[in-house]
Amino acid sequence: MLLVFAIIIVCATKIVSINIILFLIFVIIILYIAILILSTAMFVLNIEMLFLIFATNNNNKQKPTMLYLNLAPIFKARQIEKPYSFLVKIGIAPHTASKIIRNDMHILRLNHIELICLHLHCEPNDLIAFKPDKNMVLNNNHPLNKLIPEQEDFNWQETLKTLPVSKLKEVAKFLNNNNQEDQ
């Protein structure tokens, strides 16, 4: 600012040539632009620092979830080979379906649970599994223990293929009785 006043005074007294005055104005403009760039850079750095502080604080507060969606066995039992396509087809948004498949869901809307249960013919408890933290101690009769998956690698379809016909007839009879009870 003082430099501007000095240029005005010098111009008023007509001591300096026009070339020097133009050079000084050019220098002032360059300095002004440099100050703007530096102040913008400082503003951006402050915002980035605030973001890093916020992200660090939030990550420390978030505890690992011990309840999770366990849809893989249900998809396998229903012979759904493309779970993502299935979820999108029943009305779940592609982004949400992707997060469900990656098991990256921390919040699931009730209408999504309802849609999944309606189309997979299951209950909400069938969708959710529980994996206790290694430091967590639960009583044996705690209700969450019911959500711990038992045997995930059991292939019932292969077992059915190798059952004797007499056993298959028993299974068919059992299934028919259950279907009649459901209706």
Range of the domain at 26: 2-61
With CA atoms as reference, report the closest residue to 83 among 50, 48, 127: 127
The answer to whether residues 21 and 89 belong to one domain is no
Tally of domains within the chain: 2
- What is the pLDDT confidence band of residue 98, given thresholds at 50, 70 and 90? very high
Task: Say if residue 60's pLDDT is above 50.
Answer: no
The answer to whether residues 71 and 8 belong to one domain is no
- What is the pLDDT confidence band of residue 48, given thresholds at 50, 70 and 90? low
pLDDT at 88: 95
The answer to whether residues 76 and 145 belong to one domain is yes
The answer to whether residues 76 and 121 belong to one domain is yes
What CATH number is attached to the domain comprising 84?
1.10.260.40
Dihedral sign for Cα 97, 102, 107, 110, please. positive
* Average pLDDT value for the chain: 78
The answer to whether residues 79 and 148 belong to one domain is yes
Residue ending a domain, among 61, 78, 103, is 61
With CA atoms as reference, report the closest residue to 119 among 99, 93, 90, 80: 90
The answer to whether residues 149 and 76 belong to one domain is yes
Q: Is residue 179 part of a domain?
A: no
Distances from the Cα of 46 to the Cα of 33, 53, 74, angstroms: 20, 11, 48
Q: Is residue 159 part of a domain?
A: no
The count of C-alpha atoms lying within 13 angstroms of the C-alpha of 15, restricted to the half-sphere facing its C-beta, is: 6
